[in-house]
Amino acid sequence: MCSLGAAGVDVVHAMTLSEVAEAVGVVRAARDAGVPVGVSFTVEPDGRLPDGTPLRAAVEQTDAQAAPDWFGVNCAHPLHVLPALDGGPWQARLTCFRPNASTLTHAELDVMEELDEGDLGLLTRETSRLLALVPSLTTLGGCCGTDARHVRALWSPVDSDGTA
């Protein structure tokens, strides 16, 4: 990381982290280099990180050990994130969301030969629900299975039927 800071890197954002130790290591290295840093966890369909840690606990533990400038969630469908949300103050630390198009698990996606484009209406509806529950989210993009159609739909107002 020190070479990144010396090279003039403006920011570090580590994504698809699956355990707290990864996040803490990234944050500490970025801090040593004097570079702003964000970390994004991924979650399974139950809202927990792949190692079983609840998202809330991952955010709180990381903040306690080495607080990043922001948190995010990526590489997970909004239906996988929603079970993790409890309305607690920790949710205000989430500012970035990059959803998968698919509702499949990571294990199921790993064995696919082509990425699953998912159900665009479901993705936009559930992302809208997530945005309403986590108003601190300011950065929205796409991850596995998404393309320009998905991202455009995520950025558009969504009707009750899930269409933009």
3-class SS at 63? helix
Confidence band for 164, pLDDT divided at 50, 70 and 90: very low
From the CB of residue 6, how many other CB atoms can be counted at a distance below 10 Å? 10
Assigned CATH class of 12-155: alpha beta
Instruction: Give 64's contacts (C-beta < 8 A, 6+ positions apart).
Output: none
Average pLDDT, the chain: 91
Contact 137, 131 (CB under 8 A): yes
**94 has pLDDT over 80:** yes
Domain ranges for the chain, please list them. 12-155
Contact 103, 79 (CB under 8 A): yes
| The pLDDT value given to residue 56 | 98
| The pLDDT value given to residue 1 | 45
| The pLDDT value given to residue 2 | 55
**162 has pLDDT over 80:** no
